[in-house]
Structure 1
């Protein structure tokens, strides 16, 4: 989804090679060193200035050897009284250092000849490391060591420890950063009134406090990033994110798109024939989308709603608005099962209105597929549903005016972009970057987005929320059951099926993994078939051919199967109202979003539904926390907030799929009080201080703002 680049992180995927600066040498940095710095996403002096410490070490004081506390880092100074290479129990360098209070053993299991030379008997050295008890008394293993003169003074500031990479030592990084601090402009670009209101130090003072904190600086505030200097950096980081997102939003609104005016004929006919009435939330979202589609700039809207909230009918109304204007609309889903479910629903609703819905998937016969492609190419067919097959080269949508992407976080940046570019020859104009018109884009997600995430990573989108479920949906009861009580669960399943209901049994793997020792779908299928010979049991997993998956799902939907043993291919898109029991094997291994999605496969009819979470002991702390959250909550937004807290924003937004590096310093959980002021100031700066906004973004992004999510 289009969004300006957030702040780069060494732990996240690097920008695409075409946009990333080459690892050539730059002022005072040779090519080899530049290559190592590039692995940390450092390409210029300004990046060094913003490469902030992970933690600090206190080398401002010396500790007498006799009072150094085991288990704590300390700096000691003394004379080397012996140094030798021993061969037992393994080859190592062992030195003894003595001060006026005691003697300390220092050992290096891996060492260089230069270290041995440094520790010549009679030399005076300082050691920094953690003291621990050893066979011959207190010792330090692999301490940092350097030779000193007898009257050499101590540093006046805490020593920073930076994130680094192989071949790049702390000493080299410190020298480079100090040089960059001395040569880079550190002028303040924020309005003084904002800094005063938020109690933020100046940019220069904040950087100096973080790179060279005073000995009396609060170490806890520094370590936990609560120091005012850290808050200044976090605020600037959030502000730059907001500036970048706001600019991306404004740039899209300056482009052209086909204006799809609402026409009531087919829409009224569709609403009249539906066997249900739209909820208030569905009607509101449909109206918001209809207004966007009528605009002359491309819509970029996210439709989010909990499991079962009815997103498909809202998407159908949007696609119908395109068709009523004589333009094409395409819906892309990440899995064949989900795409086929969408196609069946859309075809059921729209075929009676005289509209053909093309179905593009790898499972269709070649002749049928080519016939559909030709009808789309000619513009005869206006609506299409498919998987990744929609973005393959032979597919041409010359009058594409609306692209719908379901479960958008499952698609990579290029895949989402490719669907939009399918309209390049017609309604989409000259394609990305060209002068023509662009298709509207509607993205859908069944994973509700917490407010802090919506205010930051999704701030460049318009959002519609389906916050109510259709009437008739029954609440789902959740049960936590130990794996030791499996027989009771099988008995419960037998009872439900004999009463005419159906059940899912979900497993995390297809084949046995020696590492995880998980129950598998194949094993479970065989076990249940033997234990329940009177029931019709089917098997569904990702390695089946597309037509086999489709046939199995059709049989289950037609109640030709009582139990469906499956992997997570049924996570989304499966809608069988008669299924009232969900058993999830090894639930502790699933993420919260998956558990919530799987639980939402039941509770779609009038019968009381139950989701049984089978777990194996011992439970990890994270596994226990996830199960507690899913057991206590059915509200998708509350589950999403907990998921964000447990996993962090990287996994939650699918950063690997979005091409979106995450915030390095600000935390969406701890720094929520800074988000709203950053949003407000971003608007003010773009309006009243555009040059300051440019310089601020250049400082943090270094020309990488052009990297947008698609």
Structure 2
């Protein structure tokens, strides 16, 4: 049976899978309080107050309303506030007498009167019960809607769901043996665990069931990771095996690292072994040269050989086309970018995602450069015998597959142009110091880039953050005539014009993260990311890659500054994430930390999830990389 639209929004394609959309917590509504005598309950205790409305009024603060309600037990009172638009409730209270409400919140006291903080109202059927809490998906479906639809379908689907999950896990005998250790009583026990999650009878049984399903999800993630290796036999490709021939038209001598990376791939091709490789290297380590050598090996093996290279934007597509086609002048090459539609009969095809719609038949090698910019479906849509992904910061899913051995990792650590970039974190109270640093950079004749999380605003701050337009206007007051702005709202021609001005005559550019990939600006020495907590680690590392890309011609230190400005501060987990950038310039190490903090994504072969909780059947479970690795080792050993 096809699932209703709300289930589809949660990524559920079959009603019987709905029990695997697990709750992330439990709400305890059992602590009912019907007497409001002061100090009867300790301050900070979470209670459900049941009382009759004695008084209510709407108050305003900073232009925002709140409905203040007083409940009575006919002797004492408790007061609380509900924020936001509460007009319907207020009208109901205006037209009805002796309305009874159930208000849940934390107890506090003032002047011997009881108050509730962080209050919400409960429905009658919620009082005295344990209720599972389900997450929504931002911008897709609310938590309340997710709860409604899962509670509607999951309880009745538990038995067929359990049978299906156990059956799928039992295909592999080794996995089935481990599953028996987790749930000795099989389907019957799994049904009990799923009921304990969706219809909890106690907090202990809920916690036990969550641990059981997490172990099952870890086991299946290990299974998918082991299946992810695409190695197998294929037709051998016999191109030139000498580095001198592979690098014939590269205008510099490849480093030992570059040679080693290229040879490790072409040697697999030569013996007829299918490959899926991940080329990891920061800006300036020469990933394009490695790609060029591997592509040259394939294309010089015969006129029937074909290579596709896919890039995330037009500027980068033009740049890579010019470079790689010059490395292999012996073959026909075509560009697919914007309005340029090349010839699919060419041996070398380079372009943006327009390649996906060009009707390209099976090719020998598909290279996906800046792979973190593409979805899994995009990266694997072009049918190729060999797949090479290239990135400074691979997305968590790819990093996980690499760590578990499903992808061969090729690492470039040495840059042709060494640089010394200092990464710092600034808070609101450090704003003057940050502006002094910007002024110092400009005084030294270098350029400054300010990156903002949002393009435009309503003239007021949103959650304490100004827009790129507002910041550009403010900076133009301080540095008149020296500031420009670029963002996705401008046409390609307008952004190209602004970027050229920044490259040649303008000192200071304000931009959204559009500038993240594929931009080289001579003498760009300083990047400030405003509201850095809004950006992911991989995006921030890519932005940092814009700094000091070209060394000074006089041979002096290739210096740079990368500053993360947090006007609103940041939570502990966010600070842990940002401090990783301060401590490391290693893109793969940063991706591994990102993987641990954000989750690995879904390792299944049809997954679109690049990070977050895995959904190997079971959803909303955060899987630890170390435990998946341990599961893989355990399964392989037994």
Tell me the TM-score normalized by structure 1: 0.64
Alignment of 1:444-593 (within 5 A): 444-448=390-394, 454-455=399-400, 461-478=406-423, 482-485=430-433, 488-489=436-437, 491-497=439-445, 503-508=447-452, 513=457, 514=459, 515=461, 516-518=465-467, 520=469, 523=473, 530=480, 563=507, 565=509, 567=511, 568-575=513-520, 579=523, 581-584=525-528, 586=530, 588=532, 590-593=535-538
Number of the residue aligned with 1:55? 25
Q: 2:300 aligns with which of 313, 316, 324?
A: 324
Q: Is the 8 A contact 2:236 2:270 kept in 1?
A: yes
Question: Is 1:441 the counterpart of 2:387 in the alignment?
Answer: yes
TM-superposed CA distance for 1:675, in Å, is: 0.5
Q: What secondary structure is seen at the aligned counterpart in 2 of 1:308? A: coil
Q: What secondary structure is seen at the aligned counterpart in 1 of 2:387? A: strand
TM-superposed CA distance for 1:316, in Å, is: 0.6
Question: What is the aligned residue count?
Answer: 581
Number of the residue aligned with 2:64? none
Q: Is the 8 A contact 1:330 1:400 kept in 2?
A: yes
Measure the CA separation in 1 of the matches of 2:609 and 2:20.
26
Distance 1:401 1:196, change over 3 A: closer
Q: 1:612 aligns with which of 561, 584, 591?
A: 561
Distance 1:58 1:397, change over 3 A: closer
Alignment of 1:24-35 (within 5 A): 34=4
TM-superposed CA distance for 1:581, in Å, is: 1.5
Question: Is 1:232 the counterpart of 2:209 in the alignment?
Answer: no
Distance 1:496 1:406, change over 3 A: same
Question: Is 1:259 the counterpart of 2:205 in the alignment?
Answer: no
Distance 1:679 1:572, change over 3 A: same
String of CA shifts for 1:548-593, please: whole Å, max 9, x gaps: 7668878988xx65857363444333456x6362333536365433
| Runs (5+) with no aligned partner, structure 1 | 1-20, 24-33, 149-153, 364-368, 422-437, 686-710
Distance 1:549 1:344, change over 3 A: farther
Measure the CA separation in 2 of the matches of 1:570 and 1:238.
38
Question: Is 1:406 the counterpart of 2:369 in the alignment?
Answer: yes
TM-superposed CA distance for 1:167, in Å, is: 8.1
Q: Is the 8 A contact 2:44 2:106 kept in 1?
A: yes
Distance 1:119 1:214, change over 3 A: farther
Q: Is the 8 A contact 1:580 1:610 kept in 2?
A: no
Alignment of 1:37-186 (within 5 A): 37-41=7-11, 46-58=16-28, 65=35, 66=37, 67-74=40-47, 96-97=72-73, 129-130=104-105, 132=107, 142-145=121-124, 158-162=130-134, 177-181=154-158
Q: Is the 8 A contact 1:524 1:565 kept in 2?
A: no
Q: 2:260 aligns with which of 279, 284, 288?
A: 284
Measure the CA separation in 2 of the matches of 1:263 and 1:455.
33
Number of the residue aligned with 1:692? none
Number of the residue aligned with 1:699? none
Q: What secondary structure is seen at the aligned counterpart in 1 of 2:328? A: helix
TM-superposed CA distance for 1:311, in Å, is: 1.2
TM-superposed CA distance for 1:522, in Å, is: 6.1
Q: Is the 8 A contact 2:34 2:73 kept in 1?
A: no
Distance 1:192 1:611, change over 3 A: same
String of CA shifts for 1:190-237, please: whole Å, max 9, x gaps: 65667659999964554455456665839xxx6xxxx55323211211
Question: Is 1:595 the counterpart of 2:547 in the alignment?
Answer: no
Q: What secondary structure is seen at the aligned counterpart in 1 of 2:254? A: coil
Q: What secondary structure is seen at the aligned counterpart in 2 of 1:401? A: strand
Q: Which has the higher contact order (CA 8 A, sep 6+)?
A: 1
Q: What secondary structure is seen at the aligned counterpart in 2 of 1:288? A: helix
Q: Is the 8 A contact 1:285 1:464 kept in 2?
A: no
TM-superposed CA distance for 1:493, in Å, is: 3.6
Q: Is the 8 A contact 2:418 2:558 kept in 1?
A: no
Measure the CA separation in 2 of the matches of 1:519 and 1:39.
32
Number of the residue aligned with 2:632? 679
TM-superposed CA distance for 1:289, in Å, is: 1.7
| Runs (5+) with no aligned partner, structure 2 | 60-66, 137-141
Number of the residue aligned with 2:222? 242
Q: What secondary structure is seen at the aligned counterpart in 2 of 1:217? A: helix
TM-superposed CA distance for 1:473, in Å, is: 1.5
TM-superposed CA distance for 1:312, in Å, is: 0.8
Measure the CA separation in 1 of the matches of 2:537 and 2:76.
55
Measure the CA separation in 2 of the matches of 1:114 and 1:509.
42
String of CA shifts for 1:151-188, please: whole Å, max 9, x gaps: xxx88xx5544558688697996686554456765696
Measure the CA separation in 2 of the matches of 1:59 and 1:631.
44
Measure the CA separation in 1 of the matches of 2:586 and 2:395.
12
Measure the CA separation in 2 of the matches of 1:447 and 1:492.
30
Measure the CA separation in 2 of the matches of 1:129 and 1:462.
50
Q: Is the 8 A contact 2:54 2:72 kept in 1?
A: no
Measure the CA separation in 2 of the matches of 1:196 and 1:647.
29
Alignment of 1:614-693 (within 5 A): 618-621=567-570, 628-644=579-595, 649=600, 662-663=614-615, 664-668=619-623, 671-680=624-633
Distance 1:512 1:264, change over 3 A: same
RMSD: 5.3
Question: Is 1:271 the counterpart of 2:271 in the alignment?
Answer: no
Distance 1:392 1:552, change over 3 A: farther
Measure the CA separation in 1 of the matches of 2:221 and 2:7.
23
Measure the CA separation in 2 of the matches of 1:126 and 1:566.
52
Higher-Rg structure is 1
TM-superposed CA distance for 1:114, in Å, is: 12
Question: Is 1:217 the counterpart of 2:224 in the alignment?
Answer: no
Q: Is the 8 A contact 2:486 2:498 kept in 1?
A: yes
Q: Is the 8 A contact 1:279 1:470 kept in 2?
A: no
Measure the CA separation in 2 of the matches of 1:328 and 1:214.
61
TM-superposed CA distance for 1:332, in Å, is: 1.6
String of CA shifts for 1:590-618, please: whole Å, max 9, x gaps: 54333322332315435423333456673
Distance 1:330 1:40, change over 3 A: closer
Tell me the TM-score normalized by structure 2: 0.70
Q: Is the 8 A contact 2:531 2:567 kept in 1?
A: no
Q: 1:337 aligns with which of 311, 315, 324?
A: 315
Q: Is the 8 A contact 2:421 2:561 kept in 1?
A: no
Q: What secondary structure is seen at the aligned counterpart in 1 of 2:585? A: coil
Measure the CA separation in 2 of the matches of 1:44 and 1:53.
18
Q: What secondary structure is seen at the aligned counterpart in 2 of 1:243? A: helix
Q: Is the 8 A contact 1:519 1:586 kept in 2?
A: no
Alignment of 1:385-424 (within 5 A): 385-393=350-358, 400-413=363-376, 415-417=378-380, 420=382
Measure the CA separation in 1 of the matches of 2:17 and 2:386.
37
Distance 1:539 1:73, change over 3 A: closer
Measure the CA separation in 2 of the matches of 1:474 and 1:129.
57
Q: What secondary structure is seen at the aligned counterpart in 1 of 2:247? A: helix
Q: Is the 8 A contact 2:601 2:609 kept in 1?
A: no
